[in-house]
Amino acid sequence: MKKHWWHKATIYQIYPKSFMDSNGDGIGDLKGITSKLDYLQKLGITAIWLSPVYQSPMDDNGYDISDYQAIADIFGDMADMEELLAQAKQRGIRIIMDLVVNHTSDEHAWFVEARENPDSPERDYYIWRDQPNDLDSIFGGSAWQYDDKSSQYYLHFFSKKQPDLNWENAALRQKVYDMMNWWIDKGIAGFRMDVIDMIGKIPDQKIANNGPKLHDYIKEMHQATLAGKDLLTVGETWGATPEIAKKYSSPAEEELSMVFQFEHIGLQHKPNAPKWDYEKELNVPALKAIFNKWQTELELGQGWNSLFWNNHDLPRVLSIWGDTAAYREKSAKALAIALHLMRGTPYIYQGEEIGMTNYPFKDLGEIDDIESLNFAKEALENGKTSEEVLDSIRMIGRDNARTPMQWDSSKNAGFSTADKTWLPVNPNHNTINVQAALYNPESIFYTYQKLIKLRKENEWLIDADFELLETADKVFAYLRKTADAVYLVVVNVSDDKQVFDMPIAVSEEIISNTDVSTVLTNKMLEPWDAFCVKLC
Ligand code: GLC
Ligand code: CA
């Protein structure tokens, strides 16, 4: 298998509104990101996945783009973007852009023209029907919005300010490829592709994801933009199975480097229930089975995994699956060790490396996210109490990941000098912050730093086979095996002691959050004990 830089990479996701504010308006921006590159270099990451910074009315925080080749005023301008690229490059950090081409903003020039002038070529860049069917928007309500001017409905799988693009239109596809090439020429290192599995939709047949032409489009896109360039591409594909993931990520298919699959994230809510109906306790055996499936089915050379606990749409993993009290640091390290030593490219979401947690929202007035607000409205109308609604949002809502990055214990956690930040800063920034983490050699930060370094330096993390071990239910243990070495990873995914009585001979300790010899002597794992050793 041909190895690429991204096989050894760890990617760090930045949510620009919340990372660092350079001009005191309470909103993160590009200059803010550039000012923190030294910190990211110290962490050791290979690349930044930058959530959207393009021009946008910010109905969905930039996932509604009105100009793909301009920067939103709140974030700065194109010169700031070029400066970020240049400064990052100097530090060996690459930039991956967020490609949101399932839909645009309704304020994009194409849609404005399409709406104003039904005879324009742009009309067919979007999806119009005389009558709506019963397709629902993912953000609540119907997926169809009536347009007075032409007496037709347009499709929007997300908010009504996010009209869906019509990928059947070849001219539109070419415009997208031209735009991608424009960014590639600027020196970016790849794309994270927003809800890419939806571009092959057939609304009349109620097909949203995995439409019949999806892979034709991606292959065409690959030839028009990616071919011959060493870029990282990762598709967001909520419903992907290993079979589907192979279609995207097998090198022979010439599509993408990898996809984000969300099967493990599905354990955050009840089976076949909306995400708001969350599951209080992690089903560890189910989690192990899912990882085992993905690790073994995406064989080396036939597909590639991405590895993540968090992103800007998910709750903070410590709050839902870890421990935010006595074992916050230890559980954060344990979850990191469990994830980063599997095969795939790991992603870290801003603040994960210091163990940031969900936000204690007190009332609906503190909520910003359109998805949460739409959910609250519908749920209240359907008779839920506001306490029930808040309980779901506190656990699952997307704003939890989006509160400002906690840099230090000063005002606004050092994120901004503004009186009011766009989302409130978590009160726990007094103790959970970058400054404190850097100061403490035992902090979560240094576990992440070590995991990133291990990945850069060790081929076995790519090549070694994965083998799940039979252990106590709440112990996640696996082997990574190459022709001449065997590595053992053991993680107690719980607040309780767990038996671990495997007779093993250790040749070398690779990483741990505990004293491995005590574990082996006592044949017992303390809560959230985690380690990796090379076996004799
Ligand atoms: C993706 C993004 C999410 C956004 C949605 C619509 O799921 O990650 O933040 O709201 O697509 O663009
Ligand atoms: Ca700002």
- Nearest residue (CA) to ligand 1, atom 5: 63
Shortest CA distance to 290 belongs to which of 315, 266, 323?
266
The pLDDT profile of the chain, 536 residues, written as one tens digit per residue, is 899 999 999 999 999 999 999 999 999 999 999 999 999 999 999 999 999 999 999 999 999 999 999 999 999 999 999 999 999 999 999 999 999 999 999 999 999 999 999 999 999 999 999 999 999 999 999 999 999 999 999 999 999 999 999 999 999 999 999 999 999 999 999 999 999 999 999 999 999 999 999 999 999 999 999 999 999 999 999 999 999 999 999 999 999 999 999 999 999 999 999 999 999 899 999 999 999 999 999 999 999 999 999 999 999 999 999 999 999 999 999 999 999 999 999 999 999 999 999 999 999 999 999 999 999 999 999 999 999 999 999 999 999 999 999 999 999 999 999 999 999 999 999 999 999 999 999 999 999 999 999 999 999 999 999 999 999 999 999 999 999 999 999 999 999 999 999 999 999 999 999 999 999 999 999 999 999 999 99
Task: Respond yes or no: is residue 64 known to be catalytic.
Answer: no
Q: CA–CA separation, 344 vs 231, rounded Å?
A: 16
> Which of 51, 56, 63 gets mutated to test ligand 1 (max ligand atoms within 8 A of its CB)?
63
- Nearest residue (CA) to ligand 1, atom 7: 195
**Residue 525 tokens, joined:** 């794992």
Confidence at residue 280, expressed as pLDDT on a 0 to 100 scale:
87
> Which of 59, 65, 158, 347 gets mutated to test ligand 1 (max ligand atoms within 8 A of its CB)?
158
- Nearest residue (CA) to ligand 1, atom 9: 313
**DSSP 8-state symbol, 450:** H
Q: Which ligand is nearest to the CA of 196?
A: 1
Q: Which ligand is nearest to the CA of 29?
A: 2
Backbone angles phi, psi at 79, to 5 degrees: -65, -40
CA of 195 to the centre of ligand 1 (A): 7
CA of 121 to the centre of ligand 1 (A): 27
Task: Respond yes or no: is residue 526 known to be catalytic.
Answer: no
- The angle formed by the CA atoms of residues 238, 241 and 244, to the nearest 5 degrees, is 95
Please list the helix, strand and coil fractions of the chain in percent, rounded to the nearest 5, in that order: 40, 20, 45
Q: CA–CA separation, 517 vs 117, rounded Å?
A: 73
Ligand 1, CB within 6 Å, residue ranges: 60, 63, 100, 158, 194-195, 236, 312-313
Catalytic choice (64, 106, 194, 353): 194
SS (H, E, C) 400-462: HHHCCCCCCCCHHHHCCCCCCCCCCCCHHHHCCCHHHHHHCCCCHHHHHHHHHHHHHHCCHHH
Confidence at residue 105, expressed as pLDDT on a 0 to 100 scale:
98
Confidence at residue 111, expressed as pLDDT on a 0 to 100 scale:
98
Residues 183 and 97: beta-carbon distance below 8 Å? yes
Q: Which residue shows structure tokens 């009309």?
A: 123
Q: CA–CA separation, 521 vs 498, rounded Å?
A: 14
CA of 147 to the centre of ligand 2 (A): 35
Q: CA–CA separation, 431 vs 421, rounded Å?
A: 19
Confidence at residue 10, expressed as pLDDT on a 0 to 100 scale:
98
Confidence at residue 194, expressed as pLDDT on a 0 to 100 scale:
98
Q: How many CB atoms lie within 10 A of CB 304?
A: 26
Q: CA–CA separation, 44 vs 291, rounded Å?
A: 26
Residues 317 and 282: beta-carbon distance below 8 Å? no
CA distances from 14 to 55, 118, 313 (A): 17, 39, 12
CA of 414 to the centre of ligand 2 (A): 13
* Alpha helix segments (H runs only) across 305-358: 317-320, 328-340
Beta pairing class for 11-14 and 345-349: parallel
Q: Which atom of ligand 1 is nearest to the CA of 370?
A: 10
CA of 438 to the centre of ligand 2 (A): 25
Q: Which ligand is nearest to the CA of 165?
A: 1
